[in-house]
């Protein structure tokens, strides 16, 4: 089943298309204060559109959450979603017609 990305999520996916980035750097795609907690990145990882490579530990003198230190990169599914704005979620049946 094809799932369409909302414009807000699509902006995050298009931003990650340029290459793997740290969570603290990806926050610049946030439109408002509600998006600064990186919930959109957790959604992208849960859907299989992005992967998170955890960091070894915080730098000296900094106490930031692990999500901000992780490096995020798009998967092949995420790259296709960035291109077309929709993706086929793995594990769900695909529908050959519009009757689904």
> Domain residues of the chain, as ranges?
2-86
How much of the chain is helix, strand and coil, in % rounded to 5? 40, 15, 40
CATH class for domain 2-86?
A: mainly alpha
**Whole-angstrom distance, CA of residue 46 vs CA of residue 11:** 17
Q: pTM of this prediction?
A: 0.74
**Whole-angstrom distance, CA of residue 50 vs CA of residue 62:** 26
Q: In what order do the strands lie in the sheet with 21-22?
A: 21-22, 71-74, 50-53
Report CA-CA distances (Å) from 32 to 2, 4, 27, 94, 100: 28, 22, 10, 35, 35
pLDDT (tens, 9 = 90+) of the chain, 100 residues, equals 788 888 888 888 888 888 778 877 777 777 777 666 778 888 888 888 999 888 766 666 677 777 778 888 899 999 999 998 888 876 655 555 555 5
Instruction: Single out the residue of 17, 14, 35 nearest to residue 85, CA to CA.
Output: 14
Output DSSP code: residue 33.
G
């Amino acid at each position: 089943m094809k799932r369409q990305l909302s414009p807000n999520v699509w902006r995050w996916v298009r931003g990650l298309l340029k290459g793997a980035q740290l969570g603290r750097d990806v926050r610049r795609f946030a439109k408002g204060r509600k998006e600064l907690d990186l919930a959109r990145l957790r959604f992208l990882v849960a859907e299989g559109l992005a992967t998170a490579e955890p960091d070894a530990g915080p730098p000296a003198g900094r106490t930031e959450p692990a999500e901000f230190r992780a490096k995020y990169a798009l998967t092949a599914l995420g790259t296709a979603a960035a291109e077309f704005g929709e993706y086929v979620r793995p594990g769900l049946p695909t529908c050959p017609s519009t009757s689904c």
